Amino acid sequence: MSARRKTPPALKVEAIAASLHSSAIGHRILYLPVVTSTMDIARQEAERGAPEGTVVVAEEQTAGRARFGRQWLSTPNQNLAFSVLLYPSRRTSTRLSTVTPVAVLRAITKVTGLSATLKWPNDVRLGEKKVCGILIEAAFQDSQVRHAILGIGINVNFNPAEDPQAGFAATSLAAELGKPVSREELLQAILTELGLAYTHLREWDRVWDEWRSSLETLGRQVQVRWGEHLEEGVAEDVDSEGNLLLRRADGTLVALAAGEVTFQL
């Protein structure tokens, strides 16, 4: 009779919050075993007037979502699924899609030594396999940003290659490293790096350069799709607002603010 597989321990967040008590992000962490979505809970917290930098972490999401309305699969006690509540200015809100993946890249390297890349706009990848998804949602009132929520899901110790529901090329930090990774250490590193990047936006040029240099999308023939619309061409560059500059076959250049990228051979 085979031995029963030991259930991984639940995430411990008390020490993380204590270590970040004076930081902009992570000084207040709500830990919930099961939620529909950490972004839903973060939105409720915003409506209650929760302080900026509040983090909602869950072991399991029954309706976790990714970009384009897709579902984000969450494996209990093995990965990280969390959302961060911010109250940025309108200008700062436009930079969150750059700041957030850079913070994740820095944290992954700091904790594991692995060097990840980015598939525009903000998929974090290892060896051309997705390891982290980032979703950013903002609520507006007139022309002002009421709040912004950063949703981050990372495959830490569960290898999605073993899950037939994954539906795309994915991996985990543990699979690439060859050993388990501390979720607590990784979460603390991400929140620390995110807090530093968010509160020191005067260093924006350095953050943007780091984001751009991590983009594996540039220089490649791509298709960019959103809804029924499709653009094809060479991903030539990105501008200061994070738009992808696509050179079409006819030589014209178009700036794309969003879309799903597929690499073409």
The residues facing 247 across adjacent strands are 234, 253
Average pLDDT over residues 41-45: 97
Per DSSP, what are the bridge partners of residue 170? 130
The reported pTM is 0.90
* pLDDT at residue 74 in the model: 64
Higher pLDDT, 121 or 256: 256
User: Which pLDDT does position 236 carry in this prediction?
Assistant: 97
pLDDT for the residue 204: 86
pLDDT at 235 over 70: yes
C-beta neighbour count of 106 within 10 angstroms: 20
Paired residues of 71 in beta bridges: 65
Rounded Cα distance between 177 and 241, Å, is 33
User: Which one-letter DSSP state was computed for residue 72?
Assistant: P
Nearest to residue 80, comparing CAs of 192, 178, 186? Answer: 186
Evaluate if residue 78 carries a pLDDT over 90: yes
- 102 three-class SS: helix
pLDDT band at residue 169, thresholds of 50, 70 and 90?
confident
Q: Report the pLDDT averaged over residues 78-100.
A: 94
pLDDT digits (tens, 9 = 90+) for 221-234: 999 998 889 999 99
pLDDT of residue 164: 57
What is the three-class DSSP state of 166? coil
pLDDT above 80 (res 84): yes
Q: pLDDT at residue 27 above 90? A: yes
Q: How far apart are CA 236 and CA 137, in angstroms?
A: 27
Return the closest-CA partner of residue 136 out of 152, 158, 157, 153.
152
Give the model's pLDDT for residue 98: 93
Residue 88 has pLDDT above 60, yes or no: yes
Q: Region 186-206: what's the mean pLDDT? A: 91
CB 41 within 8 A of CB 30: yes
Domains belonging to the chain, first-starting first, are 14-213 (3.30.930.10), 221-263 (2.30.30.100)
Q: Kindly tell me if the per-residue pLDDT of 3 is higher than 50.
A: no
Of 53-62, 145-154, 161-170, 193-202, give the lowest mean pLDDT range: 161-170
Residues of the chain with pLDDT > 90, as a percent, come to 74
Look over the chain and give the mean of its residue pLDDT values, rounded to a whole number. 90
| Spatial separation of the C-alpha atoms in residues 39 and 82, rounded to whole Å | 8
pLDDT at 64 exceeding the cut of 70: no
Distance between CA atoms of 167 and 164, rounded to whole angstroms?
A: 7
